[in-house]
Structure 1
Amino acid sequence: MNLGLSLTEEVAKELENLAALGYSLEQMAMYFDVDKVFFVQAAEDPESKVSYYIRRGKLMAAAKEQLALLQATEGGNVTASEHLAKIRRNKSWEISKLDIFGGFDEKRLLANLRDYIESGSLNDLKNEEAIYLDALLIFAGMGRKIGRRNTVAFFTKPPFGLKYARASEMYDEAINLFYADRQIERKALRHKFAEQLQEAAMIVRDNAASSKDWEVYGNLITQASRMLGLDKDDPEKPPAEQFAKPIRFYSLNPGDVGLHSIDRQEVARQIESLEIPERDKIRARQDARIEHINLEERLHELEEDSQPEES
């Protein structure tokens, strides 16, 4: 990659100083009058010399400031001691503040995070991407606890000091990243929200100091009950016989199913009056159960019927 920039000792020192002062990559490219795209690519490559000098400049600036505070603290400077304690407490945020809140292309980074999350693997995250993901997780978590307005206001104060528009944008990015493709069933969401109401009710109950507090507690419990459908009657259970296995009854007696019994003597007289061969009358009486079936004779008849007629 041809940056058009010779990394002499003097240029390397200038890179470190610009990084220490908090200049963006685009501003550094403009300072050296080189191609912005190539410069940013080189700066984001952890193996490149450009990236090394930029990271070293940031580290040296933070280290020198803290070393000076440490010397003043050892000399008994109370203000320096308090300031150093604050820096130590927020060290991870102070060092990475530029990376988290606008020192790179947020749209590109957010797209990468979506790809990592959808693929189910975060092993290939770069350092700045992991930091930004942590920041969005904090936005999403705080949003659930204290709401959007309070979360955005929190990040506009020290040590973050974001502009309101940027804090609001990051909050929206967090919501879009973690909730855009949510496919939770409505029943599950009702149970989740009801549980949150119950937790809030327990906090109010444990700290109740007046009748107003108990009224709030009662309202929260009532809302949770309604969300769970406890204010409605239980649905009636269908009768057990609806699901009972049907009983089947087989009988040769027509009367068991509400039919009239057959007068077999009358049937026999009707068969006898038919003008058909005697052989057919015998078969009809057997089919009507007037006479017993002679299986040997019936099989013999079937055999005869199956013989092909001689032409």
Structure 2
Amino acid sequence: MEPGNITQLSKFLLLGFSERPELQPLIFGLFLSMYLINVFGNLLIILAVSSDSHLHTPMYFFLANLSFIDFCFTSTTVPKMLWNIQTQSKVITYAGCITQMNFFITFAGMDDFLLSVMAYDRFVAICHPLQYMVIMNPRLSGLLVLVSWVTSVLHSLVHTLMVLGLSFCTEVEIPHFFCELNQMIQLACSDTFLNNVVMHLAAMLLGGGPLAGILYSYSKIVSSICGISSAQGKYKAFSTCASHLSVVSLFYCASLGVYLSSAVTQSSHSSTTASVMYTVVTPMLNPFIYSLRNRDIKRALKRIVGIQYYKNQTSKG
């Protein structure tokens, strides 16, 4: 295939996981189940936080935002993959691919920044408990989320504009189930040196920066917990961080696994499989991690279920 100008390109082909037709129903059912669990789980967290006045605190404000981001993050990629399997098509339009890549980068960045913001929130709560409500006031909480949004959108916009400047062959096969930035750059027919430099530089700054903030926050948290004399006090302080620490570990281990698998094996299939962990599995597990280990969330969810049950009984009566 001869290289062509991007204006001549009308579509990409998403190869997905397997070419074998007999596996497609299994893949469809598996991803549909995970997606539905993700949607209902994260929407329940948002509903619980918004409906219970006891949860109108900075910690739960960030948690509701994280649930919204996780819902959007998975919705960027999975519905298109399910549609392609159902219609037995691998096609995604050029505009659709660019749009999907743009939103994917935005929501991935927001996930990263929000986890860092939540680590800072836990740091203030444990290391400066008497000043918590003064420091983590509604203005600062909203500002932290707003800055995260602006940074993520600008970061995504830079990559999107640079990809728009690349030339592709008239038909491009993407060995993935969505339009990932790295795959797009690798498949371009024109020079991608600047794209690679910006991509790796942004990964170090916008990926490494929040991770460094999380590690610093938890180093201070661990130091503060060790200074607590009673075992019950230590347990109570640690329990407030356990859910967030679990989510952070899942997200970064899964993300690191994607890049290590792609760098070490050079196999697109292993990279695609590994990417499922942080694009689908981790957002699906987050609501369970926070709800199962959090009495406030469980109480709010029981209250919602109880109200619905009461309404159903009243309507029947």
TM-score, normalized by length of structure 2? 0.24
Give the number of the structure with larger relative contact order, counting CA–CA contacts within 8 Å between residues 6 or more apart: 2
Quick check: which one's helix share is greater?
2
Quick check: which one's strand share is greater?
2
